[in-house]
Amino acid sequence: MLLALAIVLLAYICWQSIKGTEDFNAEVARRDKAVIQRLVDIRTAQVALRGQTGSYTASFDTLTQFVKDGKIATLIKEGDLTEEQLEAGMTEEKAMEIIRKGNEAAIKAAGLWDETKNAPQLVRDSIFSPTVQVLYPNRARFSVDSLRYVPFGNGTEFEMGVDSLITASGYPIQVFEAKTHYRTYLGDLDKKLLEQKIQEVLDRPGDKYPGMQVGSLEVANNNSGNWE
């Protein structure tokens, strides 16, 4: 009788252990997904900021202000030069120089008038739209003010920094990094399983970060995430 009870108890303990690990992994996956999305959003903003200002920022205040108040140019491109025009030496630069002067007679004389549209053959223009709409389209629930905060992190902000590195070919390149430790957003889960997860990362070859990170201040990695 005692042996049977012991077997049942052992089986229950094993089942609980397996279920506990499965539940832990499922919750980790759910939280990882949210943290990764936030890091991707940060990367999107940083790349756009650098495109406009020439540099990344280590300040979430600067980054969120850019997303909230900035404008991004979207190029409108309609029409192309024909093969005959290109072979005759016409270039898009020359064509747009003629078109932008607005002289209809000169445009027609240059063969750049589209009779079907009754308008110049080429249109090249820029429309400036709010940064948040351009970078995060169709994201009705997107919150700019939440960009700095780690999901499930109880108000903790991502660590973020910028630096300059010298590439293997000797050229300087600016890099940025945003990251958060596993303990920040998984700290309320099973402590033993969490520490095992962290140790697994630390035991891997190389200097691996036990958390989620995008970009790097150590190597030029094209702003990759460590989950990619």
Strand-pairing partners, residue 125, are 76
> Considering its fold, how many domains does the chain have in total?
2
Q: Identify whether residues 60 and 98 lie together within a single domain.
A: no
Q: Identify whether residues 117 and 137 lie together within a single domain.
A: no
Q: Is residue 24 part of a domain?
A: no
In terms of pTM, does the model score above 0.85?
no
**CB of 178 closer than 8 Å to CB of 139:** no
Distance in angstroms (rounded) separating the CA atoms of residues 127 and 123: 12
Which tens digits make up the pLDDT trace of 194-212?
A: 999 999 999 988 889 999 9
> Is residue 12 over pLDDT 50?
no
Q: Identify whether residues 88 and 188 lie together within a single domain.
A: no
Q: Identify whether residues 169 and 210 lie together within a single domain.
A: yes
Q: Identify whether residues 171 and 204 lie together within a single domain.
A: yes
Report the greatest alpha carbon distance in the chain. Answer: 105
> Range of 114's domain?
80-121
Q: Identify whether residues 137 and 207 lie together within a single domain.
A: yes
For the stretch 197-205, contacts whose Cβ atoms lie closer than 8 Å and that sit 24 or more positions apart, written own/partner, are 197/28
Which tens digits make up the pLDDT trace of 108-153?
A: 999 989 998 899 988 888 888 999 999 999 898 899 999 999 999 9
Burial (CB count within 10 angstroms: exposed 0-12, middle 13-18, buried 19+), residue 173: exposed
Which tens digits make up the pLDDT trace of 45-104?
A: 999 999 999 999 999 999 999 999 999 988 888 889 999 999 999 998 998 899 899 999
Q: Identify whether residues 50 and 145 lie together within a single domain.
A: yes
Q: Identify whether residues 60 and 138 lie together within a single domain.
A: yes
Angle between helices 2-53 and 191-202 (to 10 degrees): 60
Q: Identify whether residues 139 and 61 lie together within a single domain.
A: yes
Greater confidence (15 vs 4) lies with 4
Distance in angstroms (rounded) separating the CA atoms of residues 106 and 112: 9
Q: Is residue 147 part of a domain?
A: yes
124: how many CB neighbours lie within 10 A of its CB?
15
**CB of 175 closer than 8 Å to CB of 220:** yes
